[in-house]
Amino acid sequence: MRYTRIMTMDPAAVAVASRSFSRNPILRAELLERYPRSRFNDEGTAVLSGDALVKFLRGHDKAITGLDVLDDALFAAVPELRIVSKYGVGLDMIDLDAARRHGVSVRWTPGVNRQAVAELAICFMIALCRSVVPLAQELAAGGWRHPGGRQISSSTIGILGCGHVGQQVARIGRAFGATVLAHDIRDYGDFYRDAGVTPVPLDALLAQSDIVTIHVPLDAATRGMIDARALARMKPGAFLINSARGGIVDEQALKEALVAERIGGAAFDVFAIEPPVDRELLTLATFIGTPHIGGGTQEAVLAMGRAAIAGLEANSRSGSSASNN
């Protein structure tokens, strides 16, 4: 039965579960040129799951997915699925061991949105250093306050995770004139030397940085790694930025640190639960939250989508990295 289902797949059809890809007219047109009978997620939820995802993928041996969770149960329910091409970066939504057991090839291209996410991280740095968001809100309410601020050029930026995005943040930070520290489980010695970046242990990065920016993937080693202890190691008045993945930071511990003014502020584009539910955190004057927009620029969307289309081809190879963000 399984053999029959695989052999009767339509080679001109791809199931596109990602709503963002499905809504982009340029990506739709480019995919349809190669796979003219493809199916798009035009009516389901933004992120398909469970039976809805199974129903959507059935009958296809190739799929493009985004934030949809693909686990052992999903692969077992859709045995005809042979290729999954990831739209976006990060593979924490896909059980790679289960994919291998079921003979599914997972394709992805790391770093395709590096510039977009790096620019957002720098945007957060400027906003936090100059209190842009609370001062704009105060001005709109009739206030006129001048609390001063800090320049990036005189700051020490600590980059946790120096893969594709982290390296781009380092380059931009150095262009501002900042001192840049980095911590990663991989040795990027050549990059550190060329870019003028100093590698340090994690505790030293937390203790010495005026701004800590997170660019690691979410996995068993990084989940909850910035907890109350790590936050306590940060400089008083330092800023924390997370534009990588929700779940890396203990958000309750962060809220407590902000309320107690143990750190100066934080800016997050990602959350453990999305949309986030902790209104107390979101409404703190020292917190900036955005709705996972890091890779959402026009340029990044096209780059991620075209990489996903290319990943559908038989000769495409999957990739992985410990610091792919």
**Class of 2-110+297-310 in CATH:** alpha beta
SS3 label, residue 288: strand
Per-residue burial over 210-236, b if 16 or more Cβ lie within 10 Å, else e, is: bbbbbbbbbeeebeebbeeebbebbbe
The single-letter DSSP state of residue 214 is E
**Is the pLDDT assigned to residue 68 strictly greater than 80?**
yes
**Is the pLDDT assigned to residue 321 strictly greater than 80?**
no
Q: For 193-250, what is each residue's pLDDT tens digit?
A: 999 999 999 999 999 999 999 999 999 999 999 999 999 999 999 999 999 999 999 9
Task: Return all residues near 157 (Cβ < 8 A) that are at least 6 apart.
Answer: 125, 169, 170, 173, 178, 179, 180, 181, 209, 210, 211, 213
Residues identified as active-site: 245, 274, 292
Alpha carbon 144 to its chain centroid, in Å, reads: 36
Spatial contact of 17 and 94, defined as CB atoms under 8 Å apart:
no
SS3 label, residue 44: coil
Spatial contact of 295 and 301, defined as CB atoms under 8 Å apart:
yes
CATH fold for domain 114-289: Rossmann fold (3.40.50)
Which residues pair with residue 159 across a beta bridge?
182, 213
Task: Return all residues near 202 (Cβ < 8 A) that are at least 6 apart.
Answer: 160, 183, 230
Q: For 35-45, what is each residue's pLDDT tens digit?
A: 999 999 998 77
SS3 label, residue 92: coil
- The first and second tokens of residue 71, run together, are 């686990």
Q: How far is CA 300 from CA 20, 224, 262, in A?
A: 12, 28, 35
Please measure the distance between the N-terminal and C-terminal CA atoms of the chain and give it in whole angstroms. 40
Strand order in the sheet with 105-107: 39-40, 15-16, 62-65, 83-86, 105-107
What is the rounded distance in angstroms from the CA atom of residue 107 to the CA atom of residue 70?
A: 13
Which pLDDT belongs to residue 8?
62
pLDDT-based confidence at residue 315 (cuts at 50, 70, 90): low
Instruction: Count other Cβ atoms within 10 Å, centred on residue 66.
Output: 21
pLDDT-based confidence at residue 90 (cuts at 50, 70, 90): confident
For 19: left if phi > 0, alpha if psi spans -120 to 50, otherwise beta; the answer is alpha
What is the rounded distance in angstroms from the CA atom of residue 60 to the CA atom of residue 142?
A: 58
Which pLDDT belongs to residue 215?
98
Which pLDDT belongs to residue 4?
41
Instruction: Count other Cβ atoms within 10 Å, centred on residue 320.
Output: 11
What is the rounded distance in angstroms from the CA atom of residue 127 to the CA atom of residue 156?
A: 16
Alpha carbon 240 to its chain centroid, in Å, reads: 16
Q: How far is CA 69 from CA 49, 92, 132, in A?
A: 7, 8, 36
**Is the pLDDT assigned to residue 33 strictly greater than 70?**
yes
Residues of the chain with CATH 3.40.50.720: 2-110+297-310, 114-289
**Is the pLDDT assigned to residue 317 strictly greater than 80?**
no
Secondary structure tally for the chain: helices H, strands E: 15, 12
